Amino acid sequence: MMSSTEANGSGPHQGRERTLGEVQRELEAAYRRLEEEGARRRQLEAELETRVAVRTAELEAAAAALRDSEAKFRALAEESLVGVYLIQDGRFRYANATQAAMLGYTTEELLALPSIVETVAEEDRTRVLENLRPPTGEARMVRYEFTALRKDGERRELEVLGGVSVFDGQPAILGTSQDITDRKRVETTLRQRVELQDQVGKIAATVPGMICSFQLRSDGSTCMPFATPAIEEIYGLSPEDVRADFGPAFARLHPDDLERVQRTIAESARNLTPWREVFRVRHPRKGELWVEGHSVPRKQTDGGVLWHGFVQDVTERKRTEVKLAEQLRELQRWHDATLGREGRILELKRQVNELLVKAGEPPRYPSVEGDD
């Protein structure tokens, strides 16, 4: 005889078979999900590998460009006939061989100095440090002269041209320098000789340029009562042409410079301060010249003013200054390009690190993380 439970088909064995079927279906579903997850992970890993490869290629290209930029910058600086330097926080961070030799040091010794003031005469140190402050506003270039102190104690006169730059993310001054000791000695000698009126004739025969006296009369007219024959090399005129009236010489000044020259003459006369000016002259035979004048004024009893001084042709010097300014701008361009590529390399390294971390791998460039 069967019980009613067995007759209805609801015995314990039948309930067990149903539970195992459900478990089997769940296992199959879980397996499918694992397969799908594995496929997605493999696809993600492949994408990450591709992106890492692309970023790595970009990094290598940027590094190569950086090396090329640095090589060009150093080649340009090392081949320069003038000193090239980079100063930051009062220290030399870069100096070419010319700069080091100018100061009597090796390049390594110069870079090891704790402060650039060790290369500056004591009386000029405050002024030099003031000029090393990065210029503000639109001014990006500064030119000045100072007395340098060489390693052996010798004093030399230098002229520097510097501009604001950036090094390791901080302000710096990139510039060039020239030794002008010989030129300064010549200028000092000329000024001393000009003051000795009884030796004017001897000076006129030895100095480059023209020795002269310039007069502003009380009625406002001007003349040059004395000029050496070298006036022809400066203005294309004879001493007689300007002895009573300086108008012919004024007429040969460049129109863009005439008003400034006349204004500074008036200021020198009003304040009785030394006159110094650089201006252009249109010489009838030699073309456009750059000339520089130095003179000292003396008040006359009739109310006029008489200057004694000299004027010299500085055309070659001005051309050199233009070339130096162009060279400094080229140096600045390569330096700025180098800095931009360094920043791009750091960013690429960070991106590679992030992608590797997402893939469960350790960062390839751990030092980059410390820079943050």
Give the tens place of pLDDT for each residue, 166-200.
Answer: 888 888 888 899 999 988 888 887 777 667 655 55
| Structure confidence at residue 62 (pLDDT) | 62
Give the domain ranges of the chain. 10-79+338-372, 83-179, 183-313
With 0-12 / 13-18 / 19 or more C-beta atoms within 10 angstroms meaning exposed / middle / buried, residue 111 is middle
202/336 Cα distance (integer angstroms): 53
| Structure confidence at residue 63 (pLDDT) | 61
CATH topology of domain 183-313: Beta-Lactamase (3.30.450)
Say if CB 245 and CB 222 are below 8 A apart: yes
With 0-12 / 13-18 / 19 or more C-beta atoms within 10 angstroms meaning exposed / middle / buried, residue 303 is exposed
78/151 Cα distance (integer angstroms): 21
Say if CB 144 and CB 131 are below 8 A apart: yes
Q: Which amino acid is at 307?
A: W
Mean pLDDT over 302-325 rounds to 90
Q: Pull the structure tokens for residue 262.
A: 């006349």
The full DSSP string for 109-156 is HHHH-S-GGGGB-GGGHHHHHHHTSPP-TT--EEEEEEEEE-TTS-EE
Are the folds of 83-179 and 183-313 the same?
yes
Give the tens place of pLDDT for each residue, 344-365.
Answer: 677 777 777 777 777 777 887 7
25/38 Cα distance (integer angstroms): 20
- Give the residue with greater pLDDT, 311 vs 10: 311
Q: Pull the structure tokens for residue 305.
A: 């003013």
With 0-12 / 13-18 / 19 or more C-beta atoms within 10 angstroms meaning exposed / middle / buried, residue 284 is exposed
Per the prediction, the chain carries an average pLDDT of 83
Tallying the residues shown for the chain, one arrives at: 372
| Structure confidence at residue 158 (pLDDT) | 95
Q: Which residues contact 264 (CB under 8 A, 6 or more apart)?
A: 275, 277
Q: Is 30 helix (H, G, I), strand (E, B) or coil?
A: helix
Question: Regarding the domain with residue range 83-179, which homologous superfamily does it belong to in the CATH classification?
Answer: PAS domain (3.30.450.20)
What is the distance in angstroms between the CA of the first residue and the CA of the last residue of the chain? Answer: 86
Say if CB 134 and CB 127 are below 8 A apart: no
- Give the residue with greater pLDDT, 257 vs 168: 257
Give the tens place of pLDDT for each residue, 87-129.
Answer: 999 999 999 999 999 999 999 999 999 999 999 999 999 999 9
| Structure confidence at residue 300 (pLDDT) | 94
Over 48-77, what HEC string results? HHHHHHHHHHHHHHHHHHHHHHHHHHHHHH
Ramachandran area for residue 299 (φ above 0: left; ψ -120 to 50: alpha; else beta): beta
